Chain A
Amino acid sequence: MANGLHLDHVRILKDGVPLIEIDTHVAPGSVLTIMGPSGVGKSTLLSAIIGTLPPAFSLHGHVRLEDRDLLPMPPEDRCVGILFQDALLFPHLSVGANLAFGLAQGGTRAERRVKIDAALAEVGLEGFADRDPETLSGGQRARVALMRMLLSEPKALLLDEPFSGLDAALREQVRALVFDHARARALPVLMVTHDQEDADAAGGEVVRLG
C-alpha cells in the first residue's frame, strides 16, 4: 500500500544502544496504538517521526508518508501533526490567535477569521475566539488544541498519551472527537498510550513495546 504512514525497519539507538525496533504501516483513517511501560521510548519514537530527536539518539530505517521520505526533511516540512497530554495552548495568545497560529498560511485577515470561527463552531465553542486560554475547562482546551493542529492541515497525526490528563467522562468524549475528526480527514493516526481503554477505543492494531 502506498498511502498512509510507513515505519520501515525503524531502529532507534540511544548512545549506540538499541532502544526501539518497529516495522509497521498505518493506513489512512486507521489508528495504530503503541503500548508499553514508561521509559520504553514511546515518546522518543514520536520525536523521531516529527523530526525533533535529541542529539543523543540515532535513527535507522525509513519513515514514509504518502511516498515522501520524511527522515531527510526538517520537522517543518513533514506535515505530521502531534497532540500531547496537555493542550499546550500558548498562554500569551487568545484562543483565536492560538488557532490562527495553527491555520495554514494564506488568505486575507477576514478569510482567516472566518475559518477560525468555523473551526471553533465545529467543536461547539462559538464565540470563544477572544477568550484567554486560562479561562477554559480541560475539555475545551483539548478541543481547541485539536482544532489548532488540524487547521495546520497535517497529513498524519501522532498522539502522545493525549487523553491521560482528562477525567474519565471527558476522556471518552474527547477521544471520540479526535478519532472522528482523524477518520473524517482520512489521516493515519499513531497513538502511544499506557491505557488499555485508549487502545480498545481506537479499535486498530496494537503494538506492544518493552
Chain B
Amino acid sequence: MKYLPRLPLFPLLTVLFLLGPLVAGLWGTLLPAFGHFPAGGHTGPSLDPFRALWNWPGLSDASRLSLVTGVVSAVLSLAITALILAGWTGTRGFRVLERLLSPFLSVPHAAAAFGLAFLIAPSGWIARLFSPWLTGWERPPDLLILNDPWGLSLIAGMVVKEVPFLLLMSIAALGQIDGRRRMALSQSMGYGRIKAWMIAIFPALYARIRLPVLVVLTWAMSVVDVAVILGPSTPPTLSVQIVRWMSDPDIGFRLLAAAAALWQLALVIAGVGLWFLGEALIARLARRQVEAGRRGRSDTALRVAGFALGTTVSLSLLLGFLGLIIWSFAGFWSFPDLLPDQFTLRSWMRHRTGSLDALGETALIAGVSVIIGMILTIGCLETEERYGLRLTQRGMWLIYLPLILPQTAFLPGLQTLLLNLGLGMGRLPVILAHLVFVLPYLRLSLEGPWSSWDSRQATVAKALGASPNQILWRVRLSMLLAPLLTATAVGVAVSVGQYLPTLLAGGGRVETLTTEAIALASGGDRRAIGVFGLMQTAAAMLPFALALALPALVWRNRKGLLNG
C-alpha cells in the first residue's frame, strides 16, 4: 500500500538541495582561491590569490573586526538572554517581555538595523530627544556613532536582533525541562533566583540550544547586511570586504575574494573553537562555584539589570520600527525636532513603481522557494514516518549546517562556479540558494508539531479503511493546518530577509526589497530607506498575521483545533 517509491525519494532530494549548493559553493571557492578561474582567464593552481590577500593592508583589521564583533555580540546576546530568563521566568514581567519581543523575530535583519541606525545616529531620535536642552546641539553633532571603527553599533545591532531569537528558542526548549520544580528545589535550599537558575537550569537549557547559539556566533562573525548598515567601512569587516571584491567590475578580484572567503571560513572555525574552549572553561568555573555552595542571595541588582536590558532591546526594536514608519511619511524634518513638520505620501509615491517591482520579485522568490521547501519537508517527514526512520543528532547537525556555515564562505563560490560553467545568474539560482536557508527553518518549525500529533488518529483512520495518502491529506495535514501555515510564514520571512544569496546568485540583477533597501544604505536617503524597510518588514510579517487568522477562520466551528 506504499505509494511512495521504494527509495526514500524525498530525503534524498532534500539532502541534495541542502548540500548541493553548499558543496558546489565550497568547490567554487576553492578553485579560484588557488588561482584557477578559467572564466577570468586564470588557470592554476597557484598561491597568488593568497599572496594578494596577505598583502592587502586591511587584512588584520578586517579579520580582527569580524572575530571580535562576532564573538562579543554572541556572548552578549547569550548573557542577556540568560539574565532575563534567570531573573524573570514565570513572572508577569517576563510574559510582557515575551509578548513585546516575539513579533520582532520575523523582522528582517536589515530593517531592524536601519531602525536602530535611525535611533542612535547623531541626527537620530535619541540625540533629538536630548537636544538642545541637555546637549546644546542645534545641529546634528559630528560624531561617528554609526559605522564606528570599533564596530560597537554593529555589535548593538546584532545583539538587538539575536536576543529575541535566543529567547524564543530558549522558551521552546524550556518546555522540555522541569524548570519549575528545579527552581523550587534550589530556592528552598536557600539559593537566590539567578544563581538557582544558572546552576539548576542553564546547563540543561544550553545543551538544547547549543546549535542555535552556534548559528548566532557564526552568523555574527560573517554577517553582511547588518555590517553594511551599522559596521565600520575603512576597513569593513572581512565579509563585507569579500562582497565588495565580488562586486568589483574587474573580474580578477574574484580570486582575491575566494581566498578571503576561505580565510573567513578559517576565522569562523577558529571562533567556534574559541567558543568551545570558553564553554569548557565556564563549566569548570561553574563546578567550582557549585562546590563552594555560595547562595548568591543579593541578586536584586542583577535582576533589575536583566529587565532593563530586555526592555532596552524591545524598545530599540519598537522605536526603530516606528522610526522607519515616520521617515517614510516625513516631509521636511529639521534637527532637533522630534517629529517632522508635516506628513506626506510623497516618498511612497516616488518609490511606488520601484518598491512594487521589488515586492513582486520578493514574493515570487519567497513563494516558489517555500512551496518547494514545504513539499520536500512534508515529504521527508512522511517518508520517515512510513519507514520508521528518526532524525538523529547527526541529522540535526546536517539541518543546521547551512545556518552554521558562514554565507560568505560558499556563496561567492557559487557565483564563480556558475560563471565557470557558463551558466547565467538570475532568478532560478536565487531560488535554489534561498532554499538552502528556507529548508532548515521549515524543518525546525514543523518538527515539533509533526511528532507531537496524536498518531492514534492515524490508527483510527486506517481502521476505517483510509489509505496512507488519505490519512496524510485528509487527517494529518488538515489537523496540522495551523503549524503548517506558521512554518510557511517562517519560510517566507527567511526568504524575504536573504541578502547575500540574492545578491550573489542573482549576479546583482535580481532586485528584491532586501537588496534594494541595502543598496540605499550608503546613500543616506532616509525616506527611501523608510519605504523599503517597511515594505520588507511587511513582507516578512504579513504571512504571520495570515497564519494566525486563517486557521481561526477555517476552523471557527472546531474548538479542538483552535488551541494548539
Contacts and interface: CB of A to CB of B under 8 A. Distances in A.
Contact of A75 (B178, B184, B293): B184
B291 A149 contact: no
Interface in A128-182: 148-149, 152, 154, 158
Given A97-B290, A103-B293, A50 B184 contact: yes
Given A76-B192, A105-B294, A88 B187 contact: no
B6 interface: no
A101 B290 contact: yes
Interface string A100-141: 111111100100100000000000000000000000000000
Given A76-B193, A112-B291, A154 B182 contact: no
Nearest to B94: A55
B191 A84 contact: no
Contacts of A88: 178, 181-182, 185
Contact of B199 (A78, A101, A148): A101
Given A90-B200, A91-B204, A92-B203, A112 B293 contact: yes
B185 A75 contact: no
Contacts of A158: 188
A183 B189 CA distance: 19
Contact of B293 (A79, A86, A101): A101
A41 interface: no
Interface in B171-198: 178, 180-193, 196
B191 A76 contact: yes
Q: How many A residues are at the interface, by size bracket?
A: 35 or more
A116 to B, nearest CB: 9
A154 B188 contact: yes
Contacts of A35: none
Contacts, number: 91
A191 interface: no
Contacts of A149: 185, 188-189
Contacts of B91: 55
B295 interface: yes
Nearest to B95: A55
B interface: dominant SS: helix
B191 to A, nearest CB: 6
Contact of A100 (B185, B188, B291): B291
A105 B184 contact: no
A97 B465 CA distance: 57
B2 interface: no
A148 B199 CA distance: 15
Interface residues of B, number: 31
A50 B187 contact: yes
Contacts of A47: 184
B287 interface: yes
A interface: dominant SS: loop
Contacts of A79: 190
Contacts of B180: 52
A47 B180 CA distance: 10
A36 interface: no
Interface in B279-337: 287, 290-295, 297
B141 interface: no
B179 to A, nearest CB: 11
B449 interface: no
B204 A52 contact: no
A36 B486 CA distance: 42
B456 interface: no
Given A52-B183, A55-B91, A81 B188 contact: yes
Interface string A46-89: 01001110110000000000000000001111111110101010
Contacts of A152: 188-190
Contacts of B190: 76-77, 79, 104, 152
**Shortest 8 CB-CB distances between A and B: which pairs?**
A75-B187, A152-B189, A92-B203, A105-B293, A100-B291, A52-B184, A50-B188, A82-B188
12 contacts: A74-B192, A82-B184, A86-B181, A88-B181, A90-B203, A101-B186, A101-B199, A109-B291, A112-B293, A149-B188, A149-B189, A158-B188
Interface of B: 90-92, 178, 180-193, 196, 199-200, 203-204, 287, 290-295, 297
Given A77-B297, A100-B291, A102-B189, 16 more contacts: A50-B188, A51-B187, A55-B91, A76-B187, A76-B196, A79-B190, A84-B181, A86-B181, A88-B185, A100-B290, A100-B293, A105-B294, A105-B295, A148-B189, A149-B185, A149-B189
